[in-house]
């Protein structure tokens, strides 16, 4: 089982663009998430950030005009940081509601009420049974016709490639840690089936190359030379149109574009907010 002990101070210090946040900035990837839902009437929506982490996205949703934002995370360190971040940025303890609890616990939130749920970089951290329960609960917390945005990184192919390189380098402990953190890495087919089994309609699914904005491993490389080489490989080589086309033709597109996005809806009597 996933335990909050894994997600401690060190984890959240190293998590995506931690240096940017400490310097007063905000993770650039979250601007991408906001762009995906930009056409929705946020000013009329109750929004849930499921697995809110340090709280940046929840705060950005409130700044973008969402009528109400609730963030849920089971890690005490995340909840503490999210509350502090919301207070420092928004200047109001009530502007964003941060709740400590597991997505696997249906009683964490009342049934119904949310028009939009964002579940970004959470899926890969939840064992299959926990993910199944969590999605069922999220569905119960949503209004009929509400929208769910899922983002997961890395894809299964890239995850296996990284672990293979680490094993060859004699860094088995890195592989063990990677598999503890990313215990349920996805393919598009697997994710689509999991969402369908939970009762969601997948309206749109796509791949995107967010490697340099998403990968904590990349962002925590201390050697500027190695980091430049990694960026060159990810963005300019694998991310090129030619490489993407070739890999797509042979069924390996998920190596070039290792982020999976999915916009889903909860079927109901009315689909009030279609993107």
User: What share of the chain in percent tops pLDDT 90?
Assistant: 57
Pairing of strands 259-265, 142-152: antiparallel
pLDDT at 17: 61
pLDDT digits (tens, 9 = 90+) for 155-210: 888 788 877 877 888 888 878 888 888 999 999 999 999 999 999 999 999 998 88
Beta bridge partners of 187: none
Tokens of 206: 């796509």
pLDDT at 1: 41
Mean pLDDT of 89-97: 92
Decide if pLDDT at 221 tops 80.
no
pLDDT at 218: 67
Average pLDDT value over all residues in the chain: 86
H helices within 101-187, ranges in order?
128-141, 156-168, 172-181
Q: Which residue in 269, 264, 263, 240 sits closest to 253, CA to CA?
A: 240
Tokens of 1: 């089982």
Pairing of strands 114-120, 46-50: parallel
pLDDT at 274: 39
Band (11; pLDDT cuts 50, 70, 90)? confident
Decide if pLDDT at 45 tops 80.
yes
pLDDT at 24: 53
Mean pLDDT of 74-86: 95
Mean pLDDT of 36-62: 97
* Helix (H) or strand (E) run with residue 59 in it: helix 56-63
Domains along the chain?
9-154+183-210+259-265 (3.40.50.150)
- Between the alpha carbon of residue 254 and those of residues 28, 126, 191, 227, 233, the distances in Å are 22, 20, 13, 21, 15
pLDDT at 165: 78
pLDDT at 21: 54
Count of Cβ atoms closer than 10 Å to residue 209 Cβ:
17
Mean pLDDT of 86-113: 94
How many angstroms from the chain centroid is the CA of residue 253?
20
Residue 210 near residue 259 (C-beta atoms within 8 A): yes
Cα separation, 102 vs 161, in Å, equals 31
* Helix (H) or strand (E) run with residue 85 in it: helix 76-90
């Amino acid at each position: 089982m996933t335990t909050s002990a894994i997600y401690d101070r060190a984890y959240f210090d190293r998590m995506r663009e931690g240096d940017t946040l400490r310097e007063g900035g905000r993770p650039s990837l979250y601007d991408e998430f906001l762009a995906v839902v930009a056409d929705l009437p946020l000013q009329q929506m109750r929004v849930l950030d499921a697995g809110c982490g340090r709280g940046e996205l929840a705060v950005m949703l409130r700044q973008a005009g969402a009528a109400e934002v609730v963030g849920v995370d089971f890690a005490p360190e995340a909840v503490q940081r999210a509350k502090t971040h919301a207070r420092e940025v928004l200047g109001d303890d009530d502007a964003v509601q941060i709740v400590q609890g597991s997505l696997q616990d249906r009683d964490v939130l009342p049934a119904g009420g949310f028009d939009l749920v964002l579940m970004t970089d959470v899926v890969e951290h939840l064992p299959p049974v926990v993910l199944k329960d969590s999605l069922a609960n999220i569905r119960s917390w949503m209004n009929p016709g509400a929208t769910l945005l899922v983002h997961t990184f890395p894809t299964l192919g890239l995850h296996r490639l990284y672990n293979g390189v680490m094993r060859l380098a004699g860094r088995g402990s890195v592989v063990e840690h990677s598999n503890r953190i990313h215990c349920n890495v996805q393919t598009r087919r697997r994710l689509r089936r999991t969402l369908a089994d939970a009762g969601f309609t997948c309206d749109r699914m796509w791949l995107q190359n967010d490697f340099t904005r998403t990968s904590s491993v990349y962002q925590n490389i201390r050697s500027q030379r190695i980091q430049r080489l990694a960026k060159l490989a990810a963005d300019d080589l694998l991310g090129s149109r030619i490489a993407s086309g070739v890999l797509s033709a042979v069924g390996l597109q998920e190596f070039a574009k290792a982020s999976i996005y999915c916009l889903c809806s909860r079927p109901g009597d009315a689909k009030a907010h279609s993107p």
